[in-house]
Structure 1
């Protein structure tokens, strides 16, 4: 009788450990996917800004504009840095457009600005999804029984909201 109770208890503990581990793995993969989606959207924005730079260069040849590079890494620091660079370049380009009224009237300029704004909205949505997934992961990781079963064993890394 005691043997069956002990066996049932061991089976329950193993089941809890495995389901907690699998759930955290799924959530971690969801976080990586969200971060990758942010990276793709920022890369799209960078490409559009580079196209916009070519349009601006056509109006003012003397401007020394260098193209932004597309993010190859999916780490948060690289993505955030690329996002900041793209925002700074976009601000500079819009400042140049203020000096050239013909540029502000250009159809291609307006199309690119509209597409960049759409990318910005997309990035915002992906960031919200990423933050929600990180929150769910960190909450699950900190909940009982997961914290009792897995702390110090498998998952030491908390993800950070951006």
Structure 2
């Protein structure tokens, strides 16, 4: 075997290794992008469950606190805005987070209103709805954490060398974190 043949074999081996590395890196980026989409979908499912629960909660509280109409209106408006943002094709993660934060604040106000009505706090339907809401809020928190963890992994891959080369070639873009606003960072003190 001549020197030219050896050089050709070495060059071919290098090309194959680089091609396999590129394919592996591309597949890794696609898998991360799909996990980000799945993570967002999980948040969306939980937010939808919470949004669906709101009318029942409002109606239950209304039966006991019918003169608290401003609170009910704010909850209804926040729910409508959250639904509109959820259905919007142009809404960003930040838009969605803001709408959901507004709904969370409105629900906290509704719950705080319920504290003034001992009969309501003892109502089994209200207690069941509160338990469901609490469960959903925990699932939302977990889904947000999962989503943000996967976003961090994808964004890191997109920025780090050498995977940034493949990401740039195939136009992978960074994903947006689901961020809580400042009011969501304060833990409400609610007693039942």
* Candidates 132, 135, 155, aligned match of 2:149: 132
The separation in 2 between residues aligned to 1:140 and 1:6, in whole angstroms, is 28
Deviates more, 1:86-95 or 1:120-129: 86-95
* Candidates 15, 32, 36, aligned match of 1:31: 36
**1:160 and 2:165 are equivalent in the alignment:** no
The separation in 1 between residues aligned to 2:104 and 2:167, in whole angstroms, is 40
* Candidates 67, 75, 87, aligned match of 1:72: 87
Aligned match of 1:110: 127
The separation in 2 between residues aligned to 1:53 and 1:78, in whole angstroms, is 24
**1:44 and 2:49 are equivalent in the alignment:** yes
What TM-score do you get using the length of structure 2 for normalisation? Answer: 0.74
Aligned match of 1:9: 14
Moved over 4 A (4+): none
What is the CA RMSD across the aligned residues, in angstroms? Answer: 2.0
In the alignment, structure 1 segments of 5+ residues that lack a partner are none
Q: Secondary structure at the match of 1:96?
A: helix
Shift, 1:142, TM fit: 3.1
The separation in 2 between residues aligned to 1:140 and 1:157, in whole angstroms, is 10
Q: Secondary structure at the match of 2:137?
A: helix
Query: Deviations 1:54-109 (Å, cap 9, x if unpaired)?
Result: 11112233443243233335841343123212211211211221222211111111
Shift, 1:151, TM fit: 5.0
Aligned match of 1:88: 105
What TM-score do you get using the length of structure 1 for normalisation? Answer: 0.87
The separation in 2 between residues aligned to 1:159 and 1:128, in whole angstroms, is 14
**1:20 and 2:25 are equivalent in the alignment:** yes
